[in-house]
Each structure stands twice: as C-alpha cells, then as structure tokens.
Structure 1
Amino acid sequence: MAKKQVGKQTIRFLHPPVIQGAASVVGKKEGEGPYGEWFDCIEKDPKMGGDSWEEAEGKFQEKAAKLAIEHAGLQQKEIRYIVAGDLLGQLMASSFGLLSLQIPLFGVYGACSTMGESMGIAAMIVEGGFADHVLALTSSHFASAEKQFRFPLGYGNQRPKASTWTATGSGAVVISKSVLEEEKESHKIGQNYSKEALKEKGKVHIEGITTGKVVDFGIKDSMNMGACMAPAAAEVIAQNLHDLGVKPDYYDKIITGDLGKVGKDIVLDYLKAKGFDISKQYMDCGIEIYGEEQQVHAGGSGCGCSAVMLTGYILKMLEKKKWHRILFVPTGALLSQVSYNEGNSVPGTAHAVILTSC
C-alpha cells in the first residue's frame, strides 16, 4: 500500500476527499470589492440584526454553514462533525453561532490560518473513514477584531500603511468521502461509473495537506501582520515543495491567506533565498479581496479573508478548469491581548491544502 505520510510535514491522501459544497457570506465592504459578484450572500447590516459585533460574527458562521450544507445537497443530520474556529476569545463566534446546528464540534484555533487547519483536520477525518461528511469553516469580523485586538472604533485612530483590514465574512465547505476515487480503484476498464461518481467529476478534491509550524522572527508590531506571518508561509510552502519533490510550476496558483502587500514581498524574497521562485504562481487573498479605492492600506486580513475567497472564487476557478491544481495557504498571526501586552513577539503559522480539479 502506498504511504500517506510524505516527507517531513505532508500528507498525500490515497482517496482524496471531495469538497461537496461550499458557501461564502460577506459584509457590505467585501461585497463592494472586485470579487463581490462571486460571493453567495452579501449582508448589508454589519450586526446581522443582533446586539453586538460578536453575535453578528456567529450569525455569519451559522448562515455560511447552513448554505454550504444546502449546496452539498445534504441535510444537517448527515454532517458527522464540524471543525471550526475564529479569532475571538474562547472561539465565541463558533460556539454561539453553530449552537443551533447541534452537530459535534471540534473547535480549533490557528488565527487567520484557521480555514487551512480546519480543512486539513476535516479531510483527515473523512479520508480515514471516521465520517462521511464533515463541515469545515471559519469567520472574522472587522469590528469584533478591532475591539479585541486593537482600538475601540469610536477612538478613530490612524492606521499605519502596513496595517490590514480584517474582512467581515464566513466561508464554509462540506468535505465528503469520494465515491469517484473508490470506483476508480475498483472498476475494470470499460465499466461505467455510478451517477454519484459522475456528479463528483465537477467537484474539487483535496489531494493532500502540509501542516505548518509556529515560526517566530521576533517581530512585535501588531499593526504589521504581513511581516509577522510571511516567514511561516514561506516555510510551509518550501516544505510542501520539498516533501513532494516538485517545483513551483507543479501548481497553477500558490495562494496565501492574508499577507498583504508587505508580506507578499517578504515571502517572495524568502523563498527565492531558499531556491524557489513562485512569483509566476503567487496570489494573496488579502491583496485581492479589496480594491485600491477602498483604502485598506496593505490589504485584507482575518480568518474570513481567505475563507470567503476560497469558497467564493478559488473553488469556482478549479470547478471551471481554469486552474487544475493549487496550493491554498491560509496564514495566521498567533498573538493575544495578554501576550502582546506582556511585550511578547508575534509568532506566525500557516497551513497548506492541495486542491485539484477533477
């Protein structure tokens, strides 16, 4: 039997799970950006009819979760587990937002890399045979993040050029067991595939994952998330290429989560120093999600940034065969109110997911 563990940090699935359904729910500002038409739902009310920013973020998750399950053609009772997380203390958005679904929940925290982490864990659960369908999702909200990590909105502080704008939104995917992969292995030449397998041919598969480490270069500027996260992103990308023994052109796109304009330059230079030039394949969700006229300085950030770009745009490019294989690398800055106020640096992490069109 072929080995699933590849190299130092990578897993290559023998039967790649399929992304059965996906959904993106964003705020007004994100809907006004260049990818507004790609998102499933644009919420004009930043509080979603609730009383607080935190309650609103939970509502974003709830809506994205239900939409993803609907798009997968499933019912809530068919989802075995949820793997989810967010930026708020004690994973408030996930805990309160997903309460109504009454599905067993694994709460995870990877800061803004959480979409990659949740998808990786969900894919392992499914491919390992522990569940047929798992929901993976995350969220962020501009106002709840500012309230927790930076300044009250009413303070009206100036934002430095290196700062990023936390995206308001939630992205969710239903990861399912692949019928097509099972039938590929069992069918003889000339046999027909089942209707379920043929339906799956238009879906995106998770070929593998590369789990990132915590990387700390001693940066203490909490308003420069790109610089804090870029080394971790570069490390996991380099490890993925090394583990698989491939060059950057193995992928149509290598897409980071929210490094922004500052982090982009760092990750490209860092990887060139390691012998990898990814400039032709490189894309960053934080740079893409907002237009220049929206004045977000270095770009977008937050768990929801990469999650809604994935579920709103990236998966559709794979489904349409515009791209055939990508490396999706959400990035996270692992700071807290306590660690920052005690003078600690801001470590980074990143988790890579290999996505392929079928």
Structure 2
Amino acid sequence: MNLKRIGNQTVVFSNPSVILSSYSVVGPMEGQGPLGKTFNKVWQDNINGNTSWEVAETKMLEEAMEGAVKQSQIKKDEIDYLLAGDLLNQIISANFAARTMGIPFIGLYGACSTMALSMSVGTMLIDGGFARKVLVGVSSHHDTAERQYRLPTEQGGQRAMSAQWTVTGAGSLVLGQSGEGPRITAATIGRIVDFGETDANNMGAAMAPAVADTVINHFQDMNRTPEDYDLIISGDLGSVGLNLTQEVLKKSGLHFQNFSDCGVLIYDKSQDAHAGASGCGCSAVVFAGHIMEKIKSGQYKRVLLVGSGALHSPTSSLQGESIPGIGHAVVIEA
C-alpha cells in the first residue's frame, strides 16, 4: 500500500482532483462589497421571493450547485457524490438541497471550515478511486444564522465590535479526476484546539489557535515555507482572529507577507461588519469567485486555503461550554 499521508496531519494526493468549475451566489450586502464583481449571481434581497430565510438559503445553495454543474458542461448523472454542508442544525440547507439534486449525498459539518473540509474529502474520494466526479456545495445566510445562534434580527440587538457578520452566500465546485483547471494537490486535516473562549461574539479568538496549529503542521509536514505560496488565506477569522493568528505564528518563527482572510476581504469598512465576515458561505464564495479568478488569470500559482470553524452550538453556549476551534487546509495549484 502506498501511504499518501506524510508528517502529522497532511495528505499529498497521487491523483489530484481538478476543479472543473466554480459558481457563487450571494446576497445584496456581499454584492455591494469590494469582491462583488467576482460573484456569478447577486440576489436583490435576502429572501428572494421565498417563504422564509431558511428556504431562501436552500434555494441559494441549489442555484450555486446547479450553476457549477452547468459550467462544468457535464451531466448531473455523471457526478458520483454530492458533498455539502451549512451552519444550521442537522445541516438542513444541504439536506434539502440534496433532495432536489438527486445525487448520492454525503453531508459534512465543519462550521465555517466546511468548504475546505469538503474539498479535502472530495479529493480523497477521487484520489482513492472511489469517485470520478464530485460536486461540492456550501452555504450560509445571515438571517438564518442570527436566528439560530444569537438573537432574531427583528430585535435590533447591539452587536459587539468583535462580532462578525455571517455571509449570505453559497459556493460550489465540480471536482474531477481529469480535465482542465486548477488542482487540489494536498490537504492538512486539522485537530480541535480549544483555549477556553466562551464568547460567541468573538469567534475569531476561538478559531485562531486551531488555524495557527494547522498552518504550523502543514509547513512542517510539507517541508515548505510561506514563500512557497502566492497566497495563504484563512476562511473567516475576521480582523480579530487574523491578528491573533499572525501573533501566534510569529512566535513559532513563521513570518508572512502573503497571509489574508476571506472574512476581511469580502466587506469594506463602510459596510459596518465590525470584525469582518463569518459563515460557511464566506470562504466558499470568496474562493469560488475571487480566488479562482486570480488562479485562472495566472496571478496565483499556488494557494493555501485554511478553512476555520467554531464548533459550538446554541445549547453548548447556553450551558457555559467553551468554543472548540478547527482548521482544515487545502493546497490549490494552477
């Protein structure tokens, strides 16, 4: 058996998956942000004529996945597996979207790291010979997340300055065993890191240690340095979490000139998102749109995407539990 795992946590793929297509659908706030032109479709409002925010999120995810399939120019029945997830209890957006798609379904939950996790698992399926083509889909919605995790938006509660704004968006990729497009060549699966943060309004601080741990292990496992990448980008640490992660990495001897965060990029200061963006859809739409554009144009040759997730629930927070963090990293090469 040819073991593909190297070091502590990393897998290097013998047969990398190819990203055959990408598609992103976002809400109006995301469309008005600095990356607005990189998204395939922008809704005019967060409900888009549906009966509830939750139904709207499901429809948004369906649109993103249908768009990715159409752009790939392959038939839906050629896809072996659908890997999808979201933020809601029992990943209902993904479940209901999968009901419509009619593709064998593997539901995944990694909180806001779900896009990177899905890309990793999808490539493992292809590299292992278990699939030829895999559809990946991830979503979040500001209003559904607020209702579940915090307070109904109708109450107009005051948000802490460390809080992040959940992205209304869905991103999707079609991965194949061959074809034209960027390749996913390696993945570093993260481990839970929990430093005792209990404030659900400061998820950046909860996720930062886990992201730093994954990045450190990735470079050790791969025997690489930050200079080996054109871009190293975390999922949704926001400004607070990004600064904390950079501090931890500096103390470990890693200095970055090319480290950014999807949650920092997607909104500008005039949009009053406080510490930036969060949500499964954050890294999904930034990667499917902005980053894929940069890779296809030749500006980025090798990118390290580190999905970050805060693995808490309303129940665990109400019971005083801390917020476990996770980080999953994938290497994408032109």
- Give TM-score, length-normalised by structure 1: 0.92
Matched, 1:81 2:81: yes
Q: 2:206 touches 2:310 (CA, 8 Å); kept in 1?
A: yes
- 207, 219, 243: which one aligns with 1:229: 207
Inter-partner Cα distance in structure 1 for 2:43 and 2:307: 24
SS at 1:138 equivalent:
strand
- 302, 305, 316: which one aligns with 1:328: 305
Inter-partner Cα distance in structure 2 for 1:101 and 1:157: 37
SS at 1:14 equivalent:
strand
Inter-partner Cα distance in structure 1 for 2:159 and 2:45: 24
What are structure 1's unaligned runs of at least 5 residues? 180-199
Inter-partner Cα distance in structure 2 for 1:274 and 1:42: 41
Match of 2:16 in 1: 16
Compute the displacement of 1:178 (Å): 2.2
Compute the displacement of 1:37 (Å): 0.5
Match of 2:251 in 1: 273
Tell me how large the CA RMSD over aligned residues is: 1.0
| Poorly superposed stretches of 4+, deviation over 6 Å | none
Question: Percent of counterpart pairs with the same letter?
Answer: 43
- 228, 246, 269: which one aligns with 1:250: 228
Inter-partner Cα distance in structure 1 for 2:16 and 2:89: 33
Match of 1:58 in 2: 58
What are structure 2's unaligned runs of at least 5 residues? none
Inter-partner Cα distance in structure 2 for 1:155 and 1:342: 23
Matches within 5 A, 1:88-103: 88-103=88-103
SS at 2:236 equivalent:
coil
Aligned length: 334
Q: 1:61 touches 1:98 (CA, 8 Å); kept in 2?
A: no
- 300, 304, 326: which one aligns with 1:349: 326
- Give TM-score, length-normalised by structure 2: 0.98
Compute the displacement of 1:5 (Å): 1.1
SS at 1:25 equivalent:
strand
Inter-partner Cα distance in structure 2 for 1:133 and 1:56: 27
Amino acid in structure 2 at the alignment position of 1:273: K
Match of 1:185 in 2: none
Query: What whole-Å deviation, never above 9, does each CA across 1:134-183 have from its counterpart, x for those lacking one?
Result: 0111100000000000001111111111000000000000110025xxxx
Match of 2:269 in 1: 292
Compute the displacement of 1:100 (Å): 1.1
Inter-partner Cα distance in structure 2 for 1:227 and 1:340: 15
Q: 1:61 touches 1:138 (CA, 8 Å); kept in 2?
A: yes
Query: What whole-Å deviation, never above 9, does each CA across 1:49-71 have from its counterpart, x for those lacking one?
Result: 21111111101110000000111
Q: 2:15 touches 2:126 (CA, 8 Å); kept in 1?
A: no
Compute the displacement of 1:345 (Å): 0.4
Match of 1:303 in 2: 280
Compute the displacement of 1:2 (Å): 6.4
Inter-partner Cα distance in structure 2 for 1:49 and 1:139: 18
Inter-partner Cα distance in structure 2 for 1:120 and 1:2: 19
Inter-partner Cα distance in structure 1 for 2:297 and 2:3: 31
Inter-partner Cα distance in structure 2 for 1:129 and 1:240: 25
Match of 1:189 in 2: none
Compute the displacement of 1:48 (Å): 2.7
Q: 2:198 touches 2:321 (CA, 8 Å); kept in 1?
A: yes
Amino acid in structure 2 at the alignment position of 1:90: Q
Query: What whole-Å deviation, never above 9, does each CA across 1:161-217 have from its counterpart, x for those lacking one?
Result: 1000000000000110025xxxxxxxxxxxxxxxxxxxx1xx110011000011100
- 191, 197, 207: which one aligns with 1:213: 191
